[in-house]
Amino acid sequence: MHIEAADSDARGKAMTDIKAVTEILMFGAGGHAAAVSDVIRDIGDFHISGVIDDSLELQGKRLFGSVVIGGHQQVYMDGLETIAIFLGIGDNLTRARIARSLADREFPILVHPTAHVGTNVSLGEGTVVMPRAIIENGAKVGAHCIINNGAVVGHGSVVEDYCHVSGNAVLAGGVSLGERCLVGIGGCVLPNVAIGQDSIVSAGSVANRSAPERHYIMSPSARIIRRYKK
């Protein structure tokens, strides 16, 4: 599922392809889930109805204005089986694995009120656009992506599923990120550069040339330092 979003209808909302969302189960109880809970608070027209986390120590405790109701299996409890879920999980591989295991559920799109979403932008289910992020005209962002605080996705760029564009990172125009890529804090990918799936652009680095899948990319000169095993 993707939503074609115009600037006027994709700020400060939680959306699915068929309806506005009023209740969400938060899957995860760590730092990224806390950040997403602030986005939900700032949107303001819906609430977290429960938190899902496998930690026994957290069960029954209050987090993000709700209660940790249990682990993964709880999403199918009576009364919860139709509530939309948001994956508050920062790790790309883990987020992808859990999303696939819950493929029958709805995942809203969260767009912070201070984010700018241009015209002809496509946002995939389960994606969050954080405060002050910018997604420019014609960009396509896949499912379950994180466009973090102050990040920029340039015009016509394509960000595949499960990617994380970290805080203040910049994708220039026409950039392509394969699935599960990470662009670290303050990283920059220059125009029309393609980064293969599962690759990492390290924090503060500038990727000035394309790179294959499963590689670390580090400045200076966007040096590809090594391939790694998935």
| Enzyme catalytic residues | 155
For β-strands 215-218 and 200-201, DSSP reports them as parallel
Per the structure block, which two tokens stand in for 52? Answer: 């899902």
Q: Is 52 in contact with 69 (CB distance < 8 Å)?
A: yes
Query: For the chain, what is the largest distance between any 2 Cα atoms, rounded to a whole number of angstroms?
Result: 55
Amino acid identity of 188? Answer: C
- Give the separation between CA 73 and CA 200, rounded to whole angstroms: 32
- Give the separation between CA 80 and CA 70, rounded to whole angstroms: 12
- Give the separation between CA 215 and CA 181, rounded to whole angstroms: 10
